[in-house]
Structure 1
Amino acid sequence: MHPHTPAVAVPATPRATALLTDWLIRDLTPLVLTHAGLPDPQRLSRLAPVTGAHIARPGKLRRHVRALEQVLVQIEVHLRAGLHRRPPTPLTTSSAPAVPGEVLEVTGLLAGAVAELGSPAAALANRTVLTAAGVIAAGAGTAEAFDSWSTTAWSYCTVVSQVWQDEPQARLLVDPR
Protein backbone atom coordinates (compact mmCIF):
# COMPACT_ATOMS: atom_id res chain seq x y z
CA MET A 1 0.00 0.00 0.00
CA HIS A 2 1.04 3.57 -0.50
CA PRO A 3 2.64 5.16 2.57
CA HIS A 4 -0.09 7.84 2.54
CA THR A 5 -2.98 5.38 2.73
CA PRO A 6 -5.95 6.89 4.57
CA ALA A 7 -6.86 5.41 7.91
CA VAL A 8 -10.24 5.82 9.52
CA ALA A 9 -10.00 7.20 13.04
CA VAL A 10 -11.81 4.79 15.32
CA PRO A 11 -14.06 5.13 17.06
CA ALA A 12 -15.46 7.53 14.49
CA THR A 13 -19.23 7.58 14.27
CA PRO A 14 -21.30 4.55 15.35
CA ARG A 15 -22.21 3.90 11.71
CA ALA A 16 -18.60 4.16 10.53
CA THR A 17 -17.47 1.89 13.36
CA ALA A 18 -20.21 -0.57 12.36
CA LEU A 19 -19.12 -0.49 8.70
CA LEU A 20 -15.52 -1.17 9.66
CA THR A 21 -16.46 -3.89 12.15
CA ASP A 22 -18.67 -5.56 9.57
CA TRP A 23 -15.85 -5.40 7.03
CA LEU A 24 -13.40 -6.91 9.53
CA ILE A 25 -15.68 -9.78 10.57
CA ARG A 26 -17.61 -10.58 7.37
CA ASP A 27 -15.14 -9.59 4.63
CA LEU A 28 -11.49 -9.37 5.67
CA THR A 29 -11.43 -12.34 8.05
CA PRO A 30 -13.09 -14.79 5.60
CA LEU A 31 -10.83 -13.50 2.81
CA VAL A 32 -7.64 -14.14 4.78
CA LEU A 33 -8.95 -17.50 6.05
CA THR A 34 -9.59 -18.56 2.45
CA HIS A 35 -6.08 -17.51 1.40
CA ALA A 36 -4.64 -19.46 4.34
CA GLY A 37 -6.68 -22.56 3.50
CA LEU A 38 -8.13 -22.55 7.01
CA PRO A 39 -11.56 -23.95 7.83
CA ASP A 40 -15.01 -22.41 7.60
CA PRO A 41 -14.63 -18.83 6.35
CA GLN A 42 -18.21 -19.00 4.99
CA ARG A 43 -19.57 -19.13 8.54
CA LEU A 44 -18.47 -15.54 9.05
CA SER A 45 -19.74 -14.33 5.69
CA ARG A 46 -23.22 -15.63 6.55
CA LEU A 47 -23.47 -13.62 9.78
CA ALA A 48 -25.90 -10.70 9.94
CA PRO A 49 -24.34 -7.39 8.93
CA VAL A 50 -23.01 -5.32 11.82
CA THR A 51 -25.08 -2.16 12.21
CA GLY A 52 -25.02 0.94 14.36
CA ALA A 53 -27.44 -0.86 16.72
CA HIS A 54 -24.77 -3.52 17.30
CA ILE A 55 -22.27 -0.83 18.18
CA ALA A 56 -24.74 0.93 20.49
CA ARG A 57 -25.55 -2.38 22.19
CA PRO A 58 -22.49 -4.62 21.85
CA GLY A 59 -24.38 -7.55 23.38
CA LYS A 60 -26.07 -7.84 19.98
CA LEU A 61 -22.71 -9.05 18.63
CA ARG A 62 -22.87 -12.29 20.66
CA ARG A 63 -23.61 -14.40 17.54
CA HIS A 64 -20.58 -12.88 15.88
CA VAL A 65 -18.48 -13.60 18.97
CA ARG A 66 -19.67 -17.23 19.09
CA ALA A 67 -18.97 -17.75 15.39
CA LEU A 68 -15.47 -16.27 15.72
CA GLU A 69 -14.73 -18.41 18.78
CA GLN A 70 -15.83 -21.53 16.88
CA VAL A 71 -13.70 -20.59 13.87
CA LEU A 72 -10.68 -20.05 16.14
CA VAL A 73 -11.18 -23.50 17.70
CA GLN A 74 -11.36 -25.04 14.21
CA ILE A 75 -8.19 -23.20 13.20
CA GLU A 76 -6.35 -24.45 16.26
CA VAL A 77 -7.40 -28.05 15.56
CA HIS A 78 -6.46 -27.65 11.89
CA LEU A 79 -3.03 -26.22 12.69
CA ARG A 80 -2.29 -28.85 15.34
CA ALA A 81 -3.23 -31.63 12.91
CA GLY A 82 -0.91 -30.14 10.31
CA LEU A 83 2.05 -30.23 12.69
CA HIS A 84 2.01 -34.03 12.60
CA ARG A 85 2.29 -34.13 8.80
CA ARG A 86 5.29 -31.90 8.34
CA PRO A 87 7.89 -30.16 10.45
CA PRO A 88 6.64 -26.99 12.09
CA THR A 89 7.56 -23.77 10.36
CA PRO A 90 7.51 -20.51 12.24
CA LEU A 91 4.37 -18.46 11.68
CA THR A 92 5.40 -14.91 10.96
CA THR A 93 4.04 -11.81 9.31
CA SER A 94 7.34 -9.96 9.03
CA SER A 95 9.19 -11.89 6.29
CA ALA A 96 6.52 -11.71 3.58
CA PRO A 97 3.49 -9.97 4.99
CA ALA A 98 0.17 -11.33 3.75
CA VAL A 99 -1.75 -8.30 5.04
CA PRO A 100 -0.49 -4.69 4.79
CA GLY A 101 0.79 -3.24 8.04
CA GLU A 102 -1.65 -0.33 7.73
CA VAL A 103 -4.56 -2.77 7.60
CA LEU A 104 -3.29 -4.64 10.64
CA GLU A 105 -2.89 -1.34 12.46
CA VAL A 106 -6.48 -0.34 11.69
CA THR A 107 -7.85 -3.76 12.68
CA GLY A 108 -5.95 -3.54 15.96
CA LEU A 109 -7.32 -0.06 16.68
CA LEU A 110 -10.81 -1.24 15.75
CA ALA A 111 -10.46 -4.29 18.01
CA GLY A 112 -9.59 -2.02 20.92
CA ALA A 113 -12.39 0.44 20.19
CA VAL A 114 -15.06 -2.27 19.98
CA ALA A 115 -13.68 -3.96 23.10
CA GLU A 116 -13.99 -0.65 24.97
CA LEU A 117 -17.63 -0.56 23.89
CA GLY A 118 -18.11 -4.00 25.48
CA SER A 119 -17.64 -6.70 22.82
CA PRO A 120 -14.65 -8.91 22.02
CA ALA A 121 -15.93 -9.52 18.45
CA ALA A 122 -13.43 -7.30 16.63
CA ALA A 123 -10.55 -8.52 18.82
CA LEU A 124 -11.41 -12.14 17.97
CA ALA A 125 -11.57 -11.25 14.28
CA ASN A 126 -8.24 -9.45 14.56
CA ARG A 127 -6.69 -12.52 16.21
CA THR A 128 -8.07 -14.70 13.42
CA VAL A 129 -6.65 -12.40 10.74
CA LEU A 130 -3.22 -12.38 12.40
CA THR A 131 -3.19 -16.17 12.67
CA ALA A 132 -4.24 -16.66 9.05
CA ALA A 133 -1.73 -14.04 7.86
CA GLY A 134 1.02 -15.97 9.68
CA VAL A 135 0.00 -19.18 7.92
CA ILE A 136 0.13 -17.43 4.54
CA ALA A 137 3.46 -15.74 5.30
CA ALA A 138 4.92 -19.11 6.31
CA GLY A 139 4.04 -20.43 2.86
CA ALA A 140 1.45 -22.87 4.19
CA GLY A 141 -1.61 -21.16 2.68
CA THR A 142 -3.40 -21.61 -0.62
CA ALA A 143 -2.40 -18.14 -1.87
CA GLU A 144 0.94 -16.41 -2.16
CA ALA A 145 1.65 -13.71 0.40
CA PHE A 146 1.77 -11.00 -2.28
CA ASP A 147 -1.60 -12.03 -3.72
CA SER A 148 -3.14 -11.96 -0.27
CA TRP A 149 -1.48 -8.63 0.47
CA SER A 150 -2.90 -7.09 -2.72
CA THR A 151 -6.39 -8.46 -2.17
CA THR A 152 -6.58 -7.34 1.46
CA ALA A 153 -5.24 -3.89 0.50
CA TRP A 154 -7.97 -3.61 -2.14
CA SER A 155 -10.59 -4.71 0.38
CA TYR A 156 -9.40 -2.07 2.85
CA CYS A 157 -9.39 0.70 0.25
CA THR A 158 -12.92 -0.30 -0.75
CA VAL A 159 -14.25 -0.06 2.82
CA VAL A 160 -12.48 3.25 3.42
CA SER A 161 -14.08 4.60 0.25
CA GLN A 162 -17.48 3.38 1.46
CA VAL A 163 -16.99 5.03 4.86
CA TRP A 164 -15.89 8.24 3.19
CA GLN A 165 -19.03 8.30 1.02
CA ASP A 166 -21.55 7.10 3.63
CA GLU A 167 -20.18 8.90 6.67
CA PRO A 168 -18.58 12.21 5.69
CA GLN A 169 -18.36 13.20 9.37
CA ALA A 170 -16.12 10.20 10.12
CA ARG A 171 -12.54 11.31 10.51
CA LEU A 172 -10.13 10.02 7.89
CA LEU A 173 -6.48 10.45 8.73
CA VAL A 174 -3.64 10.27 6.25
CA ASP A 175 -0.30 9.41 7.82
CA PRO A 176 2.21 11.96 6.46
CA ARG A 177 5.21 9.62 6.89
Structure 2
Amino acid sequence: MTAPLQPTAIHAVPAELCECGFRLLMIRQFNVGAVPPAFAIIDQRVMRMPQRLGRHGVSFAATFLPEVMSWLIDHLGRPSLHDESGRSYRNPRWPVVCWHDQERYWPSGAVTVEWFAEVAFQDHASWMAFRTRWHESLMGRNADADSGLGEAYARESHDTEKEFADEAFQQA
Protein backbone atom coordinates (compact mmCIF):
# COMPACT_ATOMS: atom_id res chain seq x y z
CA MET A 1 0.00 0.00 0.00
CA THR A 2 1.33 3.44 -0.87
CA ALA A 3 1.01 6.50 1.30
CA PRO A 4 -1.53 9.11 0.16
CA LEU A 5 -0.18 12.03 -1.85
CA GLN A 6 0.81 14.99 0.32
CA PRO A 7 0.57 18.68 -0.68
CA THR A 8 4.37 18.98 -0.44
CA ALA A 9 5.10 15.94 -2.65
CA ILE A 10 7.30 16.66 -5.66
CA HIS A 11 7.52 13.19 -7.25
CA ALA A 12 6.30 12.74 -10.80
CA VAL A 13 2.65 11.97 -11.38
CA PRO A 14 1.27 10.49 -14.61
CA ALA A 15 0.25 12.99 -17.28
CA GLU A 16 -3.43 13.29 -18.13
CA LEU A 17 -3.61 11.96 -21.69
CA CYS A 18 -6.10 13.55 -24.07
CA GLU A 19 -7.16 12.74 -27.63
CA CYS A 20 -4.36 14.79 -29.20
CA GLY A 21 -2.06 15.78 -26.34
CA PHE A 22 -1.53 15.77 -22.60
CA ARG A 23 -1.68 17.82 -19.40
CA LEU A 24 1.37 17.50 -17.12
CA LEU A 25 1.68 18.76 -13.53
CA MET A 26 4.79 20.94 -13.28
CA ILE A 27 4.40 23.30 -10.29
CA ARG A 28 2.46 23.27 -7.03
CA GLN A 29 1.97 26.77 -5.57
CA PHE A 30 1.42 27.38 -1.85
CA ASN A 31 -0.20 30.64 -0.77
CA VAL A 32 0.26 31.14 2.97
CA GLY A 33 -0.97 34.43 4.37
CA ALA A 34 0.75 37.73 3.68
CA VAL A 35 4.02 36.33 2.32
CA PRO A 36 5.08 35.57 -1.25
CA PRO A 37 3.90 32.16 -2.45
CA ALA A 38 6.13 29.10 -2.26
CA PHE A 39 6.51 26.76 -5.22
CA ALA A 40 7.19 23.02 -5.37
CA ILE A 41 8.73 22.00 -8.68
CA ILE A 42 7.37 18.59 -9.68
CA ASP A 43 9.98 16.01 -10.68
CA GLN A 44 8.44 15.14 -14.07
CA ARG A 45 10.27 13.70 -17.09
CA VAL A 46 9.07 15.54 -20.21
CA MET A 47 9.52 19.29 -19.67
CA ARG A 48 12.48 21.34 -18.43
CA MET A 49 12.44 22.70 -14.92
CA PRO A 50 10.09 25.67 -15.32
CA GLN A 51 11.84 28.39 -13.32
CA ARG A 52 14.11 30.76 -15.22
CA LEU A 53 16.12 33.46 -13.46
CA GLY A 54 16.44 36.57 -15.59
CA ARG A 55 17.39 40.22 -15.25
CA HIS A 56 13.92 41.11 -14.09
CA GLY A 57 13.34 38.24 -11.67
CA VAL A 58 12.05 34.71 -11.88
CA SER A 59 9.80 33.65 -14.73
CA PHE A 60 8.24 30.30 -15.49
CA ALA A 61 8.42 28.65 -18.90
CA ALA A 62 6.97 25.42 -20.27
CA THR A 63 9.74 24.02 -22.49
CA PHE A 64 10.55 20.45 -23.48
CA LEU A 65 13.66 18.67 -22.19
CA PRO A 66 16.59 18.68 -24.68
CA GLU A 67 16.15 14.98 -25.56
CA VAL A 68 12.44 15.55 -26.22
CA MET A 69 13.24 18.64 -28.33
CA SER A 70 15.70 16.59 -30.43
CA TRP A 71 13.08 13.92 -31.00
CA LEU A 72 10.44 16.52 -31.97
CA ILE A 73 12.85 18.22 -34.39
CA ASP A 74 13.68 14.86 -35.99
CA HIS A 75 9.98 14.07 -36.44
CA LEU A 76 8.33 17.46 -37.00
CA GLY A 77 11.13 19.75 -38.15
CA ARG A 78 12.47 22.80 -36.34
CA PRO A 79 10.00 24.80 -34.22
CA SER A 80 10.68 27.93 -36.26
CA LEU A 81 10.84 28.01 -40.07
CA HIS A 82 11.70 30.77 -42.57
CA ASP A 83 9.77 31.95 -45.61
CA GLU A 84 11.30 33.01 -48.94
CA SER A 85 12.06 36.50 -47.61
CA GLY A 86 13.88 35.10 -44.57
CA ARG A 87 11.18 35.96 -42.03
CA SER A 88 10.70 33.34 -39.37
CA TYR A 89 7.35 31.79 -38.57
CA ARG A 90 6.11 29.06 -36.26
CA ASN A 91 6.25 25.53 -37.66
CA PRO A 92 2.54 24.62 -37.91
CA ARG A 93 3.34 20.93 -37.23
CA TRP A 94 4.69 21.69 -33.74
CA PRO A 95 2.55 21.15 -30.65
CA VAL A 96 1.07 24.14 -28.87
CA VAL A 97 2.11 24.48 -25.21
CA CYS A 98 0.26 26.62 -22.68
CA TRP A 99 -0.26 26.87 -18.92
CA HIS A 100 -3.36 25.74 -17.04
CA ASP A 101 -3.93 26.41 -13.33
CA GLN A 102 -6.31 24.63 -11.00
CA GLU A 103 -6.96 24.98 -7.25
CA ARG A 104 -6.65 21.81 -5.23
CA TYR A 105 -8.17 21.26 -1.80
CA TRP A 106 -6.32 18.68 0.29
CA PRO A 107 -7.83 16.50 3.07
CA SER A 108 -5.42 18.18 5.51
CA GLY A 109 -7.07 21.54 4.81
CA ALA A 110 -4.21 22.84 2.66
CA VAL A 111 -5.12 24.65 -0.54
CA THR A 112 -2.66 24.75 -3.43
CA VAL A 113 -2.70 25.96 -7.01
CA GLU A 114 -1.48 23.28 -9.40
CA TRP A 115 0.13 24.50 -12.61
CA PHE A 116 0.02 22.18 -15.60
CA ALA A 117 1.67 22.38 -19.00
CA GLU A 118 -0.98 21.59 -21.60
CA VAL A 119 0.44 20.24 -24.84
CA ALA A 120 -1.76 19.87 -27.94
CA PHE A 121 -0.42 18.20 -31.08
CA GLN A 122 -1.61 19.39 -34.48
CA ASP A 123 -2.43 15.90 -35.78
CA HIS A 124 -3.26 12.52 -34.32
CA ALA A 125 -0.33 10.71 -36.01
CA SER A 126 2.24 13.06 -34.43
CA TRP A 127 0.61 12.66 -31.03
CA MET A 128 0.57 8.84 -31.32
CA ALA A 129 4.25 8.77 -32.32
CA PHE A 130 5.14 11.06 -29.38
CA ARG A 131 2.98 9.09 -26.97
CA THR A 132 4.57 5.80 -28.04
CA ARG A 133 8.15 7.10 -27.77
CA TRP A 134 7.71 9.00 -24.48
CA HIS A 135 5.15 6.75 -22.77
CA GLU A 136 7.34 5.94 -19.74
CA SER A 137 8.14 9.62 -19.22
CA LEU A 138 4.49 10.65 -19.56
CA MET A 139 3.61 8.08 -16.90
CA GLY A 140 6.18 9.60 -14.53
CA ARG A 141 8.57 6.69 -14.89
CA ASN A 142 12.16 6.72 -16.05
CA ALA A 143 12.98 4.03 -18.64
CA ASP A 144 16.71 4.26 -17.80
CA ALA A 145 16.97 4.99 -14.08
CA ASP A 146 20.75 5.54 -14.23
CA SER A 147 20.69 8.15 -16.99
CA GLY A 148 19.18 11.05 -15.04
CA LEU A 149 16.71 11.47 -17.93
CA GLY A 150 13.98 13.94 -17.09
CA GLU A 151 15.94 16.21 -14.81
CA ALA A 152 17.93 19.17 -15.98
CA TYR A 153 20.26 18.63 -13.00
CA ALA A 154 20.83 15.33 -11.21
CA ARG A 155 19.62 15.42 -7.61
CA GLU A 156 22.02 12.82 -6.22
CA SER A 157 24.94 15.27 -6.16
CA HIS A 158 23.15 17.58 -3.70
CA ASP A 159 22.93 17.06 0.05
CA THR A 160 19.62 18.83 0.49
CA GLU A 161 16.62 19.87 -1.56
CA LYS A 162 17.42 23.55 -0.82
CA GLU A 163 20.93 23.22 -2.30
CA PHE A 164 19.42 21.57 -5.37
CA ALA A 165 16.86 24.36 -5.80
CA ASP A 166 19.45 27.12 -5.21
CA GLU A 167 21.79 25.69 -7.84
CA ALA A 168 18.96 25.13 -10.31
CA PHE A 169 17.82 28.75 -9.97
CA GLN A 170 21.37 30.03 -10.48
CA GLN A 171 21.93 27.92 -13.59
CA ALA A 172 18.53 28.65 -15.15
TM over 0.5: no
TM-score, with length taken from structure 1: 0.27
Higher Rg = 2
Greater share of strand: 2
Greater share of helix: 1
